[in-house]
Structure 1
């Protein structure tokens, strides 16, 4: 009943002031859920809201956002760093942390005000949650239903290995595996979707079977020159399924000196890397979706009287800070803010759908004036990643408002070149150039295992397809290759190749060191 409510208000206030209790959180969640369903029609996993302390949030930061992840010394190092800068007031903490799982877990800080709890529930429990459930990359690459059980299994398995084989051996193995995580993912769909819930059972089966692939591989090594001459390179590579982009997968299946428990830990690390793979390609879209959703939900709550003017002003201040884009000449500029760009593009797409200009009709004939902005946005959230999203939907108007130019910095020239300005051709070049910055092929090196000399010294041969003439950093490459040589057990050769001429631009060699103790 609303008879006793003040004029203009259709719902009672969810809270007054900044304090909250768990009944307040329940009321906030129900109101946000009603707005998310009725205002935006969001489709989400069931939600699990957990209130945590600042120290627990720091711990979650340190374990790559996964509080249930296995223990490792590097997480403690990260915790000490984050805690130091936080205690000194040099950096704040995130108000929330959300995990792509079913149910979707949202960690919220107990230090948050009642308004901030409303904001982060709208942002994480519904904005991010909808994106996780519906975007094709997450549907294709992640198992939201099985991730929590798998992390519990992984944590227990690593702990049991430390007890049985020693903490030093396990840490050395994980150190080497972590250095290869970027090269430990499948970038193209596999024949069968990964089912993490069944991984624990499969591990037991693998252990009992003692990994038959070891014998199948190494029994093919020729015993004489005549036999070696009969075995063609193509057949050898076919047997090893080369080339292989997922180096951790190749080591797990093929490395001759690893024990079964070591292979299982490599499998755990690459599964975690694969879980995070979609997030690196959807940062702008994911944060843009969540920010757009929380803005719409909070505006609806204020309009219907569920939050008062003071709370809404507090929200607007926080929201404005989140979507602020520092200019390039400010001391704290750190590139394009994904919250700012994502939110601006979502708002611009809604404008194009509902109130297009002639320019918009020319550039976006499929959506301009369609008038169904929410469904257009939900289609975009489901079917694009950052690169394709920017390449398709960055509008000339937004390029002008953000004053974006394409500046070409050629190391061989003494001056910068303005390669694109605000004209039709320039808009397209700017959009392509910005989209390229989010291309996974430009963000991460394309390094693949291309051959193994089974008949000779068993050197592992890798190849880097050089993009835009950019070679790998010398120091980092040497360290990572040394870790790879330790895992493989023999020397490793990495050749950097020009994709056009196939010329070898540089060669790196890592000598095998004593294998990790099994």
Structure 2
């Protein structure tokens, strides 16, 4: 772009012509200069109350009704009216077209900033990151949400609000255990299943020897082998173990009516839609923050942004990426905006102005001269855990003064295991990356067995990592929700993931089915 002394806007007031002019200038930099690849944008201006409503219904423009959304709306609205909590300047939906909501109370400089942040930064990340490409269908989500809202409304009319809320309460309680963490192979056709069964029988015939029949049978051996074979066949038929509890209940519960199964499906589809966002918070916000920072500075350099507007935007940007120290009363963990933005800037620095240390740690990208290309590749192919593990530099570890604490339940003290020095860089980086692994925080609970032709008792297993058990009150409440959807007895066994030892067992008795 050639330098243009014409300002995009000269005051804090805005109108739709000003928004359109700013959007065109931002798009020219984002797509033309930075090389971003985005969905078509749909920008809507909403009031603060509409923003609160979007907050309350998990940020979706179309959402079914549930009492928990109203409760959250009342809570957020009270804090906002009292001045104890602010609102986001924007809200962006991972859809095609990508929908960006701007608050009408924003000043024009802020409208420009959040347009760059959401309509191009988040938009590019949604469209290109492999997790979103793998798990979400941006072109279909709005149509599906419209169907979900109307379907649940019809269920309320036909079966009553209380009956629908009962199912939704239980489904919401299991949302974190209602996603697939890995892509499954495509289902085999009946012909393929028959062919594989024939191949398995032929193989067994080839390796079978009559000598095995001459071995003396021990007491009970035949019965044990028969029971084990029956259990194996039962598990194979049900594809056990199963990590997605909502999916299993939807497909195999004997007490649910078709409309109840469809509600479970709606909730788990929504949970799956949000699954990538939980794993890319640092990258997604870092990408969007880097994009808006680059664009507003470029607009200023081109003479399209005034000094007053620039000061307002830099002040807002500084607040967003502020990282309190660990001993600051405001500290609540690592700010994903701060870490993400710092890493994006650091990657660009390594690619264009590397030090000797950078060349040792990042030989593939140091001095490549293509900072934007390196960032686009990283945004496309990583989630937070792998991104930090690969790109967090010693320079940034020193800047954030990161260190690693170990805290064992058997000790009465915490130990500083690693600090930001030559020996500690790798350990600190690995520990920080692990903290962004969803598997390190979400309990691993799976359906391991159920005899649908027998007692129908649902057997769940919790693989306990690092000795972290479930909180008893929440565990028992969640088991109650599972029992409500299953209708029969169930049990939960805690197994140590390292040793295989049984740590605890609990059960819940089902009512009449």
Answer whether TM exceeds 0.5 for this pair: yes
Tell me, yes or no, if the aligned pair for 2:96 and 2:138 is still in contact at 8 Å: yes
Runs of 4+ in 1 over 3 A off after TM superposition: 228-231
> How far 1:307 moved relative to its partner?
1.0
- Structure 2 residue 3 is matched with structure 1 residue 14: no
Structure-1 separation of matches of 2:500 and 2:341: 42
Residue 34 of structure 1 is aligned with which of 28, 31, 34? 28
Residues 84-126 of structure 1, C-alpha deviations (whole Å, 9 max, x = no match): 0000000000000000000000001000000000000000000
Q: Distance in 2 between matches of 1:342 and 1:11?
A: 33
Note if contact 1:123-1:294 (Cα within 8 Å) is conserved in structure 2.
yes
Contact 2:234-2:451 at 8 Å conserved across structures? no
Equivalent residue for 1:288, pick from 279, 286, 289? 286
Deviation at 1:28, TM superposition (A): 1.1
Equivalent residue runs for 1:315-464 within 5 Å: 315-464=313-462
The answer for the alignment partner of 1:176 in structure 2 is 170
Equivalent residues of 1:249, 1:270 under 8 A apart = yes
Give the Cα–Cα distance (whole angstroms) in 2 for the partners of residues 130 and 31 of structure 1: 17
Task: Tell me the CA shift for residue 41 of structure 1.
Answer: 0.7
- TM-score norm. by structure 2 comes to 0.91
Question: How many angstroms apart in 2 are the aligned matches of 1:461 and 1:413?
Answer: 34
Displacement after TM superposition at 1:468 (Å): 1.0
The structure 1 residue matched to 2:310, chosen from 299, 309, 312, is: 312
Q: Which residue of 2 aligns with 1:270?
A: 268
Greater shift, 491-500 or 247-256, is seen at: 491-500
Measure, in 1, the Cα distance between the counterparts of 2:61 and 2:507.
37
Residues in 2 aligned to 1:450 and 1:376: alpha-carbon distance in whole angstroms = 43
Matches within 5 A, 1:131-142: 131-142=125-136
Work out the CA distance in 2 between the residues paired with 1:58 and 1:11.
38
Deviations for 1:349-395, whole angstroms, at most 9, x for unmatched residues? 00000010110000000000001000000000000000000111110
Corresponding position of 2:94:
100
TM-score normalised by the chain length of structure 1: 0.90
Tell me if the contact between 1:390 and 1:435 (Cα under 8 Å) persists in the aligned partners.
yes
Q: Distance in 2 between matches of 1:231 and 1:417?
A: 49
Q: Does 1:124 align with 2:118?
A: yes
- Equivalents in 2 of 1:420, 1:257: separation in Å? 54
Residue of structure 2 equivalent to 1:209: none
Counterpart in 2 of 1:91? 85
Tell whether the 8 Å contact from 2:351 to 2:371 is kept in structure 1 after alignment.
Answer: yes
Decide whether the 8 Å contact of 1:59 with 1:67 is kept in 2.
Answer: no
Contact 2:129 2:382 (C-alpha < 8 Å) held by counterparts: yes
| 1:111 partnered with 2:109 | no
Give the CA deviation at 1:457.
1.8
Match among 257, 260, 266 for residue 258 of structure 2: 260
SS in structure 2 opposite 1:41? coil
Cα contact 2:488–2:512 (8 A) shared by 1: no
Residue 141 of structure 1, CA deviation = 0.1
Question: What are the ranges of 5 or more consecutive residues in structure 1 without an aligned counterpart?
Answer: 3-8, 194-224
Distance in 2 of aligned mates of 1:395 and 1:407:
19
Q: Rg larger in 1 or in 2?
A: 2
The 2-side partners of 1:172 and 1:381 are apart by 40
3-state SS in 1 of match to 2:87? coil
How big is the shift at 1:513? 3.8
Of the structure 1 ranges 277-286 and 300-309, higher mean CA displacement relative to structure 2 is found in 300-309
Instruction: Say yes or no: does 1:145 pair with 2:139.
Output: yes
Q: CA RMSD in A?
A: 1.7
Q: Which moved more, 1:119-128 or 1:410-419?
A: 410-419
| Aligned residues of 2:26 and 2:295 also touching (Cα < 8 A) | yes
Q: Note the alpha carbon deviations across 1:433-470, whole angstroms, 9 max, x for none.
A: 00010001112111110000334321100111111111
Structure 2: which 5+ residue stretches go unaligned?
188-222
2:18 & 2:50 partners in 1: Cα distance? 22
Mapped partners of 1:501, 1:432: distance in 2: 24
